[in-house]
Amino acid sequence: MDPFEHIQKHQQKLMFRYKQLMEQAYNFRQTDSALSDISEFKAIKLLSKLQKLNYLNREPKKISPR
């Protein structure tokens, strides 16, 4: 498996989990603010990981000869 494919697969999994946690935080907002905060904190940590993976998965710059 290509390393870029592996990173993309991991990104998809993390994005799915991020969306779940954000929805959970929204649903808990009215009933239990502590659980809402915990879910949102976990989602923010996942978002940070996703941003790092986006950085690793970017296209390398091609240097043109002069």
> Is the overall model pTM greater than 0.75, yes or no?
yes
Q: Residue ranges per domain, the chain? A: 23-52
What is the pLDDT, as a whole number, of residue 14? Answer: 92
What is the pLDDT, as a whole number, of residue 60? Answer: 67
CB 18 within 8 Å of CB 47: yes
CB 44 within 8 Å of CB 21: no
- pLDDT tens digit at each of 66 positions of the chain: 777 788 888 899 999 999 999 999 999 998 999 999 999 999 999 999 999 888 887 776 666 666
Cα–Cα distance measured from residue 7 to residue 33, given in angstroms and rounded to the nearest whole number = 34
What is the pLDDT, as a whole number, of residue 4? Answer: 76
What is the pLDDT, as a whole number, of residue 64? Answer: 67
Of residues 3, 9, 7, 13, the one with CA closest to residue 46: 13
